[in-house]
Chains A and B, each alone.
Chain A
Amino acid sequence: MIYTNYIASVLLIVLGLYTILYKKHIIKIVLGMGIVDYGINLLIVSIGFNDGGTAPIFTMSELISGAYFVDPVPQALTLTSIVIGACVDAMALSLVIKLYKQYKTTNADEIRRLRG
């Protein structure tokens, strides 16, 4: 049933947040950000789902008032969100590479020149 989707999405979000909060390796932190994104994408696409609905692709003549299809808007939102998530990951990983070159470490506890 669709409830499993909601439960899975919440689990993914919590897992991602756990990774961001407790893992000291900065690549793992980036992965955590990705997992939060996937959880939210699953949430959005589940919201638009109608059990037994068809794909929302119609021509004007086919579209009748009783047509039953899944909501197309959340799918568009999910696509946008996936693209944005990929950009976040790419940018974060490029920062990680630069950080490793400058600090010679990937441990978050040692990357703290700015503090206080």
Chain B
Amino acid sequence: MITYAHFPVLAVMGLFFGAFLVEIFGSRSKAVRNFIAIVTAAGAFGLIAALIKPVMLDGEVISYWMGNWEPVSGYAIGIGYEIDQLGLFFALLIVTTFLLSGFYSLRYMERDHHLGHYYTLYLMLSGSVLGLSLTGDVFNMFIMIEIMTFAAVALTAFRNESRGALEAAFKYLVVGSIGSSFTLAGIALLYAQCHTLNMAQLASILAAGLTPTTLFAFALMFTGLAVKSYIVPFHAPAADAYTTAPTSISMVFSGMVNKAGVYGMIRLVYVIFRAIDLPAMQMLLACFGTVTMFVGVTMALAQHDFKRLLAFHSISQIGYVITSAALGTGLGLTGALFHAMNHTLFKGLLFLCAGAVLYAAGTTDLDRLGGLSKRMPKTTVCFLIGAFSISGLPPFNGFVSKWIVYQSIYAKAVETHNFAYAFITIVAVIVSVMTLASFIKVTQAVFFGQLPASCAQVREVPLSMRIPMWIMSVLCVLTGVFYDFVNEHLLHPAVKAAFNATGYIDAMMGEGYAAAAGVANVEVAPVEFSYWNPILWLVLFVVMLVAVFFVILTGRNTRGRVLEETGAPADGKYATYFSGEKSMPSHVGGSDLFWGFKHDWKSYFTVMQGAHSGVVNDYALWAVFGGAVVMLFMFTFLR
């Protein structure tokens, strides 16, 4: 037995064991509690990072049977863990997120009480999401989803005296339990048909074709995982939870909890059911993704709270990931995984900055903040890096991944002659523009503009909170500049693994099992950055910037003269008044920078804000409605 095969299980169990230890020993001493939490999180990080060499670089797939219950005569009995490149890719995102979040919460959470419970829940959340990404058993996946939901709900309600925390937790629990119930019902129906719970064996059995029962199971599981990845009809409680949870946990939600849902959907559609080749399936996912990115970004434009705005952007960015993964091409999945990774980095960074603002100024209300760049210059720099990344400005990472996403959707439109994909490309670009607009608003409202008197005493946050922010910022720039390296060593193996169901099945069930079941491989060509090389576009961007400056410079001499010719006086001292008083300049609030746009789209915003009514029955209705749409669609088009 090779030793590193035990690492994934040790990482997951270590986190759960750490949760127990914190609960037993951590309630009295702060030092013991912090030590246990950080050591277990760092230990899990080390164990997962040690797998990069054998799995990512050497291309090995690790299979691990709990208690050594190996398959008997082709039937998987025991619970198996299977770590292929796709799972490890998401596991790496997860361990990075929770390690940085844990380090950040040491200082960020110090003013709260009962921190022993906080770290217990934090370690349980980390362990469950990590387990979800590494497991090879659908029922184990369900257990991990449930633990994840519990821990996430409890952490959302952790600051239960603050505004709305309890109701956000309750709504999250109700909608989340609908999703879990759907997943469990789907798993039960799958077991009824296939008599196994192992993902690899399920994949080989389902390759023979879908019966109505397995199709129904697929629809149920798809809905359940869609609830966990917060795509649009299921997103409303997530926005509340992101807003009211402690910010270190909001970062964990956006960095790994919704990534777990995305991972589950990719695993389900690409490997277990292998339905991604069907055009109807691609269309369903692409529609969900497009609606998600559009609704997310427009709702973000209407927000007045820093964290709630980031929450809607988080939902919007997941739309990009889903749309790109929907295409079923190597390029599309590369874009999806790259954007998922970048979203973890830049959205985590932005949430950390929001947390820093909350820590220093005591509020995240955009109307009560302003001018913080003078008080918190280092946080401002980090925030700008994150904002540039999410808006897709070169040379930051968001540009590269969004560029691949546009390319892949457009290539799909050319390939299939389907007008819908061309339309989706346009929507994706427009959403990106709106993201930029929204971040101009936030930057203006929080970091620039006038410093209100209530923020005059604000000081920069302590160093131990800035270190995770700097690490995230550096990663944002590095993955944007060395995208080729990232693609070669992380993305391409993961993409290959997603299409390579044969390798996944054979590693678990024994050599030749997949071939006997009639599962074929899909070859994926490595992505070449030749003609969509982002550096070329960076050069074009610079050239255009120079051209704009040139135009401004040539226009400078005439600018003043035009004013004089029209006779507009420089100051109002000698102006003529007919009646009334001199008009006062009215101050447009920081959060209303795009009031004109909002005014033009008033009917849309009225409908959407009415739909986010805050009533838990409505949100549950949305979730059930989304599930019904998925089922109807699948039974109409996938049979």
A interface residues (Cβ-Cβ under 8 A, vs B): 13, 17, 20-24, 26, 29, 33, 36-37, 40, 43-44, 47, 71, 73-74, 77, 80-81, 84, 87-88, 91-92, 95-96, 98-99, 102-103, 108-109, 111-116
Q: Is B143 an interface residue (CB 8 A)?
A: yes
CA distance A106 to B612 in the complex (A): 20
Q: Which residue of B lies closest to A20 (CB)?
A: B620
- Name A36's contact: one of B181, B192, B617 (CB within 8 Å): B181
B residues in contact with A108, CB < 8 Å: 615-617
A residues in contact with B166, CB < 8 Å: 95, 98-99, 102
Q: Could you show 24 A-B contacts with beta carbons less than 8 Å apart?
A: A20-B620, A26-B170, A26-B616, A33-B174, A33-B177, A33-B178, A36-B178, A36-B181, A44-B188, A74-B191, A77-B139, A77-B191, A80-B139, A80-B143, A81-B184, A88-B150, A91-B153, A91-B154, A92-B170, A92-B174, A95-B169, A111-B615, A114-B168, A115-B614
From 588 to 639 in chain B, residues with beta carbon under 8 angstroms from any chain A beta carbon are: 609, 612-617, 620-621, 624
A residues in contact with B427, CB < 8 Å: none
From 201 to 220 in chain B, residues with beta carbon under 8 angstroms from any chain A beta carbon are: none
CA distance A21 to B143 in the complex (A): 25
The 4 closest A-B pairs by CB, nearest first: A112-B614, A115-B614, A114-B164, A116-B609
Q: Which residue of A lies closest to B237 (CB)?
A: A114
Complex contact B188–A116 (CB within 8 A) = no
Supplied contacts A21-B621, A26-B170, 6 more A-B pairs, CB within 8 Å: A17-B178, A36-B181, A40-B185, A73-B191, A108-B616, A115-B609
- Give the one of B177, B609, B614, B617 with max A CB within 10 A: B177
> In the complex, how many angstroms separate the beta carbon of B229 from the nearest chain A beta carbon?
20
Complex contact A99–B143 (CB within 8 A) = no
A residues in contact with B620, CB < 8 Å: 20-21, 29
A residues in contact with B240, CB < 8 Å: 114
Q: Is B173 an interface residue (CB 8 A)?
A: yes
> In the complex, how many angstroms separate the beta carbon of A56 from the nearest chain B beta carbon?
13
CA distance A65 to B61 in the complex (A): 35
A residues in contact with B612, CB < 8 Å: 115-116
CA distance A20 to B177 in the complex (A): 11
- Given A33-B177, A98-B157 in contact, is the A114-B614 Cβ separation under 8 Å? yes
> In the complex, how many angstroms separate the beta carbon of A100 from the nearest chain B beta carbon?
10
* Total residue contacts A-B, CB cutoff 8 A: 115
B residues in contact with A102, CB < 8 Å: 160, 166
> In the complex, how many angstroms separate the beta carbon of A93 from the nearest chain B beta carbon?
11
Q: Is B167 an interface residue (CB 8 A)?
A: yes
> In the complex, how many angstroms separate the beta carbon of A68 from the nearest chain B beta carbon?
15
Complex contact B164–A88 (CB within 8 A) = no
CA distance A67 to B528 in the complex (A): 58
CA distance A96 to B616 in the complex (A): 13
> In the complex, how many angstroms separate the beta carbon of A48 from the nearest chain B beta carbon?
8
Interface of B, helix, strand, loop or mixed by DSSP: helix
A residues in contact with B167, CB < 8 Å: 99, 103, 111-114
A residues in contact with B621, CB < 8 Å: 21
Q: Which residue of A lies closest to B624 (CB)?
A: A17
> In the complex, how many angstroms separate the beta carbon of A105 from the nearest chain B beta carbon?
11
Give per-residue flags for B128-155: 1 if the beta carbon is below 8 A from chain A beta carbons, else 0. 0000000000010001001000100110
Complex contact B244–A114 (CB within 8 A) = yes
- Given A96-B170, A98-B160 in contact, is the A47-B617 Cβ separation under 8 Å? no
CA distance A26 to B169 in the complex (A): 13
CA distance A21 to B195 in the complex (A): 33
- Given A87-B150, A95-B166, A113-B164 in contact, is the A40-B174 Cβ separation under 8 Å? no
CA distance A77 to B143 in the complex (A): 10
- Give the one of B146, B150, B163 with max A CB within 10 A: B146
A residues in contact with B49, CB < 8 Å: none
B residues in contact with A37, CB < 8 Å: 181
Complex contact A47–B173 (CB within 8 A) = no
B residues in contact with A81, CB < 8 Å: 184
Complex contact B184–A40 (CB within 8 A) = yes
> In the complex, how many angstroms separate the beta carbon of A39 from the nearest chain B beta carbon?
8
CA distance A22 to B154 in the complex (A): 25
- Name B243's contact: one of A84, A96, A98, A114 (CB within 8 Å): A114
A residues in contact with B153, CB < 8 Å: 91, 95
Complex contact A91–B615 (CB within 8 A) = no
- Given A20-B178, A80-B143, A111-B167 in contact, is the A92-B617 Cβ separation under 8 Å? no
B residues in contact with A114, CB < 8 Å: 164, 167-168, 240, 243-244, 614
CA distance A94 to B393 in the complex (A): 46
Complex contact B157–A95 (CB within 8 A) = yes
Complex contact B615–A116 (CB within 8 A) = no
Complex contact B146–A95 (CB within 8 A) = no
- Given A47-B192, A84-B146 in contact, is the A95-B615 Cβ separation under 8 Å? no
Complex contact A113–B614 (CB within 8 A) = yes
B residues in contact with A91, CB < 8 Å: 150, 153-154, 173
Complex contact B150–A21 (CB within 8 A) = no
CA distance A91 to B121 in the complex (A): 13
> In the complex, how many angstroms separate the beta carbon of B557 from the nearest chain A beta carbon?
48
Complex contact A22–B617 (CB within 8 A) = yes
Q: Which residue of A lies closest to B153 (CB)?
A: A91
A residues in contact with B44, CB < 8 Å: none
Q: Is B302 an interface residue (CB 8 A)?
A: yes
Complex contact B617–A21 (CB within 8 A) = yes
CA distance A26 to B146 in the complex (A): 21
Q: Which residue of B lies closest to A100 (CB)?
A: B166
Complex contact B616–A111 (CB within 8 A) = yes
Q: Is B41 an interface residue (CB 8 A)?
A: no
CA distance A17 to B185 in the complex (A): 14
Q: Which residue of B lies closest to A89 (CB)?
A: B177
Complex contact B188–A77 (CB within 8 A) = yes
> In the complex, how many angstroms separate the beta carbon of A65 from the nearest chain B beta carbon?
12
- Name A13's contact: one of B139, B185, B609 (CB within 8 Å): B185
B residues in contact with A71, CB < 8 Å: 195
CA distance A98 to B160 in the complex (A): 8
